Structure formats: C-alpha cells, structure tokens
Structure 1
Amino acid sequence: MAVEAQYPSNLVFLNGSSSEKENKRKKEEEVVVVVDYYNHQQHQPPLFFSTNGEPSHGGRDDNNPRARGRDSRTHLRPPPSVSTGLRLSSRDLSAHTHQELDHFLLAQGEQLRRTLAEKRQQHYRALLAAAEESAARRMREKQAELDRAAQGIAELEARLARLQAESMAWQAKAVADQAAAASLHARLQRASSAPVRTVGPKPDERGESPAAEDAESACAEPFRSGFCRSCRVSPVSVVLLPCRHLCLCAGCDAVTAGECCPVCGSARTGSVPVFL
C-alpha cells in the first residue's frame, strides 16, 4: 500500500494468453485494470505540547472556532476508497492458471495413457507373433517327423511284402521237394521190394553168374536196410539223377561226385539230398 500511496495513478495491463497445449482457443483475453488512487491526505501540522501537558498545533490557536471547525471537518472526512480490481484480477488469473494447468495435466495424462496402451498392444502383438512362429516351427518339425515315419513304414511294408513273397516261394519249393522226395521214396520202396532179374552174364565155375549173385544179395539184403552203397555205414540220404536211386550218403556223394551210379552203373548228372 506504500507503493500505491506514493504513486497516485497506476496503470496495470494483464495479458492472458491461451495455453500452448490447447489450440481451440483462438482469441486472447486482455484484462486491463486501471487503478486510480487519489490520496487526499491532509498535511497535518506538528503537535506541540504546552506547559500544562495539553497538545496544541503549532502556529494555530485552539481557541479559534473557525480552526476547530476546519479540523472537525477534516477528521470527519471518510478515508479515500481503494479499488480492489487488481486483487480480483489476480484471483481470476490464479484460477485461470490453475484451470489451464489442470487441462494440461489432463491432456498429458490422456496422451500418456494412449502411449501406454499402444505400447501394450505392440507388446501383445510381438508376443502373439513369436508364439505363432514357435507353433509353426514346431508344426513343421512334427510334420517332418511324420513324413519320415511314414516313409520308414512304407519301406518296412515293402520289405515285409518282399519277404512274404520269398517265404511263399520257399514254401512252394519245399512242398515240391517234399512231394518229389515222397515220390522217390515210394518208388525206392517198390524197387527194393521187387525181385532183381539179370539176363546174359556167363555162369561161373559153380554155374552162377555174378549178376545173379548181386541180385540175390540185393534181394537178401537190399542196401543193408537203407545204408550207403559206398561206405555201407551211413544211412542213405542222397538221390542220384537221372536214375533216381537213393543209394549214397552225403559224404560219399561229395567224394564220388562225377562217378556212375553204384546201383545201375549209369552216369549221373546230379544229386538231391533227401530228409527221411
């Protein structure tokens, strides 16, 4: 108030501008507060104290009624009124500043919320893309494993079919061999049970031919009950071809390969082992 008392007339311009964050407000508000303060302060003369202790104004007679009347009018004059426009404008400016600050904080909070939401969405999308890539990679690996397993199964099935065909071929061959062996055995049994007849050889000194002796010995002991005609120890197990005589064992067949049949004397071209 001392400043206001010194300067009787002051002009205060308060310019309010819109916040930088709010672009909607286009006009500037200008508040002009003019405070005219007129200080009609009366210069009071100094007080002097008399000898009896009563105050008196210097150079003025207290007993003068005109002076007393002027003094009474001076004291009864009301003090000059001071304008409160500056104080009110300060309050308005403070409220406006608080309002602008609130708007700014709200805008910043909204922008931060949107930024965080966008970052969160980006993070979720990245996680989803990574999960999809991992799932696709695992699916490709599993599909490759299934393809390899299917290929292995196909190879095993082909091998099984080939082995089954070979097994069936061997079974057919075994059945054929068994049938041939049974036929040979039956013919051998019939041949061994039939009497042997020889014609043409000359008789010896006793009047008997060697063939008759062989026939008699064959009839009396046909191959010594199924023993080899070569070693006469091991059982017969080989049929000579093409005469089909069952007369040799496996060892004698290997030793006498290329020789004639010991029964009929015909040249042999091969042999077949027989399991009886």
Structure 2
Amino acid sequence: MIRPNKRGRETEDIQRQQKLQISLNYNMCQEEADRSASIPNPNAVSTGLRLSYDDDERNSSVTSASGSMTQGQSMILSLGDNIRSELDRQKEEFDQYIKIQEEHLTKGIRDMKQRHMASFLSAIEKGVSKKLREKDMELESMNRKNKELVERIKQVAAEAQNWHYRAKYNESVVNVLKSNLQQAISQGAEQGKEGFGDSEVDDAASYIDPNNFLSIPVGGSKSVSKNHQGMKEQMICRACKAKEVSILLMPCRHLCLCKDCDVFIKVCPVCQVMKTGGVPVYLS
C-alpha cells in the first residue's frame, strides 16, 4: 500500500508543475502582447499617412498577439493531452498493481488455508494413530490375560480331575482294606471249620482272580496245626519269604509283599500282573 501512495504524490507533483508551466506560458504571451501594444513607433509622421500606418501596426500587433494566443492554446491542449495520457498510464499501472497484489493475497490465503488444513489433518491422524495403538495394546493385553486364564482353568481342571481320581483310588483302597480285614476276621473265626490254601487270603479281594483259581491247594486241610501254619505262611512276603506282608498291590489287590521288596518288585508274585502301585497295610 506504500507504493500506490507514492505514485499518487508523484502524479500530483507532476500535475502542479504542468499547471505552473501553463500559467507561466500564458503570462509570457500576455506580456509580449502588452509590450507590442505599448511600444511607440519611431518612424511616425504627422501627415495623414500616419493613421494608415498606425492602423497597420495595430493590426499586425493584434495578429501577432492572436498568433501567440493560438500557439499558447495549442501548447495547453498538447500539455493537457500529455497529462491525460500520463494519468491514464498511471491509472492502468495502478490497476495492474492492485490486480497483482490481489492475486498474491488470494494465493497467500489459499496456501495458508492448505497449510492449516494439512496441519489439522496431520494432528487428527496422529491422535487417531495413538488411540489405535493404545487400543491394540489393550487388546493384546486382554488376549494375553485370556490365554493365561484359559491355561489356568485347564490346570485347575486337571488338578481337580486328579484329585477326583485320587479320591476314587483312596476310596477303593479303603474298601479293599475293609474287605480284607473282614475276610481275615472271618477266616480267623472259622479256621477250625475250613481248610486253608496257599493263597486264599491273598485272593479274597482280587478282581483278577475273584474265584481264587490261581492258587487253590491240591489237597484239603489235614489238621488244625497245618491250617495255623498255612495262615502264618500266608502272612509272609512271597518274595523274600522272611518278613511280614505289609503292601497291598494295585491293581490286582494282592497282599503279598513286604515294604522292602515292594521297592524292586514290578510284577505281582501271585497273579503275575504288572503292578501300578502299592498301599501300605498295618495288620498289627
């Protein structure tokens, strides 16, 4: 905006100078006309010819003055045309300058809007990306915790099943022990009436040999002393033949090994079934 004001002031100065020049030219023309009219004629005569000479001189002065006026007017018109053309040129330059500045301003505003829009979109994109990363991390953490919970549930279920099996196993062991004790008591009460075989007590609770076919004695009972001796032999370990039996084998449920022999014996001495475990039994 400083440049148009400067051009305007320059235009006003030029116009004032031109007007001053026109005024000076006009005044000079007037002074020349006045001087021509006031200069006396040195060749004047007192005859009647003087009147004619004065008239001619006056006419020539008027003609020269009118010529000067015509020349001044033409100069004024020419100067006015120059001023008008200069003003038109400056107006055109000013309009062109305003148009260029308007285009620059429009372009600057458009570029500024584009930069602001790009910055705004970039900020939104960063915010959305940050939120997505946070949600992904939360989802990953939830999936990890879910997997841990699933594994924990499986572990707890396996432990519960194991405890269930163990409870069933202990229950079956208790039932076997009760059955063995009842059979031992009944055999002790009826030892005077029935004979004793080699493995009748051992096979009383066995589901492998429930009818006691594996070790039925060939001969019957001969006497009470032999039966008592057979009862003692049944309470001796079938492996070492020295210590008292104290281990109930699983799964055949034969009471036929002592605690020391149970460590290295893998097969039941009575039914030759692979043992899976042993339960201590305290008879005394």
Deviation at 1:112, TM superposition (A): 0.7
- Residue aligning to 2:279: 274
2:104 pairs with 1:112? yes
TM-score normalised per structure 1: 0.50
Per-residue deviation, 1:247 = 4.5
Structure 1 residues without counterparts, runs of 5 or longer: 1-36, 43-56, 261-266
Select the residue among 183, 187, 210 that pairs with 2:179: 187
Alignment match of 2:90 (pick from 81, 98, 118):
98
Alpha carbons of structure 1 residues 154 and 126: separation in structure 2 relative to 1, 3 Å: same
Cα pair 1:237 1:246 within 8 Å, conserved: yes
Shift of residue 94, structure 1, vs aligned partner:
3.1
Alignment of 1:57-96 (within 5 A): 80-81=68-69, 82-83=72-73, 84-96=76-88
Q: Distance in 2 between matches of 1:93 and 1:130?
A: 55
Structure 1's 140 and 251: CA in aligned 2 closer, same or farther, altered over 3 A?
farther
CA deviations 1:43-69 (Å, max 9, x no partner) are xxxxxxxxxxxxxx9xx779x6789x9
- Report the equivalent of 1:25: none
Deviation of 1:256 (Å): 6.5
User: Which residue is 1:259 aligned to?
Assistant: 269
Cα–Cα, structure 1 residues 187 and 127, in superposed 2: closer, same or farther, change >3 Å? same
Look up the equivalent residue of 2:172 and give its one-letter code: A
Q: Once the 2 structures are TM-superposed, how far is the Cα of residue 270 of structure 1 from its aligned partner? A: 4.9
Question: What's 2:8 paired with?
Answer: none
Bigger strand fraction: 1
Confirm or deny that 1:168 pairs with 2:190: no
Task: Name the aligned partner's letter for residue 279 of structure 2.
Answer: V
Is the Cα contact below 8 Å between 2:249 and 2:268 reproduced in 1? no
In the other structure, the counterpart of 1:238 is 248
Whether 1:249 aligns to 2:256 is no
Per the TM alignment, residue 189 of structure 1 is displaced from its structure 2 partner at its CA by 4.0
Letter in 1 for 2:229: E
| C-alpha distance in 2 between matches for 1:186 and 1:94 | 135
1:245 maps to amino acid: L
Provide the C-alpha distance between the structure 2 equivalents of 1:173 and 1:139, rounded to a whole number of angstroms. Answer: 50
Tell me the distance in 1 between the aligned counterparts of 2:88 and 2:99: 16
Other structure's SS at 1:274 match: strand
Q: Partner of 2:246: helix, strand, or coil?
A: coil
Give the 3-state SS of the residue equivalent to 2:104 in structure 1. Answer: helix
Shift of 1:175: 0.9
Aligned partners of 1:214 and 1:230: how far apart in 2?
Answer: 17
DSSP-derived class of the 2:109 partner = helix
Number of aligned positions between the proteins: 203
Q: Which whole-Å CA distance do the structure 1 matches of 2:91 and 2:126 have between them?
A: 52
SS of equivalent residue, structure 1 residue 255: coil
1:223–1:247 CA contact under 8 A, matched in 2: no
Task: Supply the distance in 2 between the matched residues of 1:245 and 1:103 (Cα, whole angstroms).
Answer: 124
SS in 1 for 2:249: strand
Change (3 A) 1:166 1:148: same
Identity %: 7
- Matching residue of 1:51: none
CA distance in 1, matches of 2:106, 2:244: 106
Q: Alignment RMSD, CA only?
A: 4.9
The DSSP-based 3-state class of the residue aligned with 1:209 is helix
Considering Cα pairs closer than 8 Å and 6+ residues apart, tell me whether 1 or 2 has the greater RCO.
Answer: 2
- Residue number in structure 2 paired with 1:178: 170
Mapped partners of 2:278, 2:46: distance in 1: 179
Does residue 213 in structure 1 map to residue 229 in structure 2?
A: yes
Post-superposition offset of 1:183 = 1.8
Where 1:85 maps in the other structure, the secondary structure is helix
Return the alpha-carbon distance in structure 2 between the equivalents of residues 146 and 181 of structure 1: 51
Are the equivalent residues in 2 in contact too, given 1:230–1:252 (CA < 8 A)? no
Higher helix share: 2
Cα distance change on mapping 1:209 and 1:85 into 2, 3 Å: same
